[in-house]
Amino acid sequence: MSETKKTNIILFSGDYDKAMAAYIIANGAAAYDHEVTIFHTFWGLNALRKDGKVEAQKGFLEKMFGKMMPRGADKMGLSKMNMAGMGPKMIKKVMKKHNTSSVPDLIEMAQMQGINLVACQMTMDLLGFQRAELLDDITYAGVAAYLADAENGNVNLFI
């Protein structure tokens, strides 16, 4: 009769600290045998971007969005005390001191734990992201798939 618990997180935010919170909760839940999904939408998609530049044919606006947004979690700013990029450096320094995993490490851990990383196809189109720009082993889906997961979820969060 033991039922698998489900955790479904929408990662909407493009902030380093919020992505960190999302992935710490997700990895924790997976460690406690939850079935875990992180649905990345809007600025949250940036966490899944590959590090370097990826060749892609894009329109003008899509190119601008692509340029202005951070390529990957490691380049994201903080939601508070960003201080023109000094905040993230300080945070990363204390994280290193305390042996806390970085967000890219947390994402890798999530993939190793079998957490389902979903990219919202609608906002991919909107912001002009192409699949080649994102990490491998990502699922592409929309609000219907999110709701199918979340309506049976135990822990649903919007971050």
| Among 50, 53, 63, 93, contact with a copy of itself (rule: CB under 8 A) | 93
Query: CB 118 → a copy of itself: shortest distance, Å?
Result: 14
Give phi and psi for 80, each to the nearest 5: -130, 150
Q: Which of 16, 48, 18, 29 is nearest to 121 (CA)?
A: 48
80 part of the interface to a copy of itself, by CB under 8 A? yes
81 part of the interface to a copy of itself, by CB under 8 A? yes
Q: Which of 137, 125, 132, 135 is nearest to 103 (CA)?
A: 135
113 part of the interface to a copy of itself, by CB under 8 A? no
Which sign, positive or negative, has the C-alpha torsion 45, 48, 53, 58? negative
Stretch touching a copy of itself by CB under 8 A, among 47-55, 109-117, 120-128, 133-141? 120-128
Using the 8-state DSSP alphabet, how is residue 152 labeled? Answer: T
Question: Which residues make beta-bridge pairs with 37?
Answer: 8, 116
Which residues make up the interface to a copy of itself (CB under 8 A)?
A: 5, 7, 10, 12-14, 17-18, 21, 24-25, 28-29, 32, 34, 41-43, 59, 61-62, 64-65, 68-69, 79-81, 90-91, 93-95, 97-98, 100, 122, 125-128, 143-144, 146-147, 150-159
